[in-house]
Amino acid sequence: MSNKDKETLGTILRDVRVLIENEARRSRGKLLVSPEVAEMLEWVRMPRPPQDMPETGVLEYPDAVERLAALGEVEDEVRACTKCGLCRNRTKTVFGVGNPNAEIVFVGEAPGADEDRQGLPFVGRAGQLLTDIIVKGMKRRREDVYICNVIKCRPPENRDPSPEEVFYCEPYLLRQLEIIQPKVICALGRIAAQTLLKNTTPIGRLRGRWYAYHGIPLRVTYHPAYILRFEPNPERFKEEKRKVWDDVKEILKVLDGNAPAIG
């Protein structure tokens, strides 16, 4: 097995381990796994992060257990939620994934078709581009951050969420943020940004400055799906990715301890 394959396997096993532990904590019980699986999971107890990446992750955080349990309770509520009409056509609710102690929370607008099927945010090609931004740009692992949407059920035909749907669903996001207490929120795309900031300003004008969302510094950047639209045009694709990189650099400064100039 090549080193890259080993690294990929390690990442998958770490994710599986976190999922199993989340499930066990949520149900406040034990989950039985075979000795072979237990041995494999033990193997990832001491992950070897890629060079120059910090050794972080859910298992190292002292109060992750409480936060996971609190997030699990909100997730249970979301799963049973029928507050707006989007509950009628959903396959699965899409609550959010990641580190309950994350320094940064990425917030998109709403699940698409793949997310609705899998119950996970940012899967597919847009999800892969987001992973590249996190891993290559921010030098963090995807499991170090938290990723979710404002709206937890898929709007039909991927239409923009209505104000009523935002009204009913946004409190779940607020509760997620209260539990996680990130240093920074990154709003991905026009709809997420306008919804969180309660305005209709074009995204090009929303970028480039810091805002506060319920006291948490917030930065706006483009949605990965928007960036992917330019893939057939390499020059434009590069240009749009560079804009995201500019946003990421500002976020990294704040994660490194610099105070954001809000307003």
How many residues lie near ligand SF4 (CB under 6 A)?
A: 14
Q: Does residue 75 belong to the site contacting ligand SF4 (CB under 6 A)?
A: no
Cβ distance to ligand SF4 smaller for residue 169 or 196: 169
Q: Cβ of residue 224: shortest distance to ligand SF4, in angstroms?
A: 22
Alpha carbon distance 204, 190 (integer Å)? 9
Site string for ligand SF4, 145-164 (x = CB under 6 A): ------xxx-----------
DSSP string for 82-106:
-SSGGGGT-SS----EE-TT-SEEE
Q: Cβ of residue 22: shortest distance to ligand SF4, in angstroms?
A: 19
Site string for ligand SF4, 20-59 (x = CB under 6 A): ----------------------------------------
Question: CB-side exposure of 197: number of CA atoms within 13 Å?
Answer: 27
Q: Does residue 71 belong to the site contacting ligand SF4 (CB under 6 A)?
A: no
Q: Does residue 218 belong to the site contacting ligand SF4 (CB under 6 A)?
A: no
Alpha carbon distance 93, 113 (integer Å)? 12
Which residue in the set 165, 240, 247, 250 belongs to the binding site for ligand SF4 (CB under 6 A)? 165
Site string for ligand SF4, 78-97 (x = CB under 6 A): x--xxxx-xx-----x----
Contacts of 249 (CB under 8 A, 6+ apart): none
Q: Cα–Cα–Cα angle for 181, 47, 32, nearest 5°?
A: 85
3-state DSSP helix/strand/coil % of the chain, to nearest 5: 55, 10, 35
Q: Cα–Cα–Cα angle for 224, 229, 233, nearest 5°?
A: 120
| Residue ranges in contact with ligand SF4 by CB under 6 A | 78, 81-84, 86-87, 93, 151-153, 165, 168-169
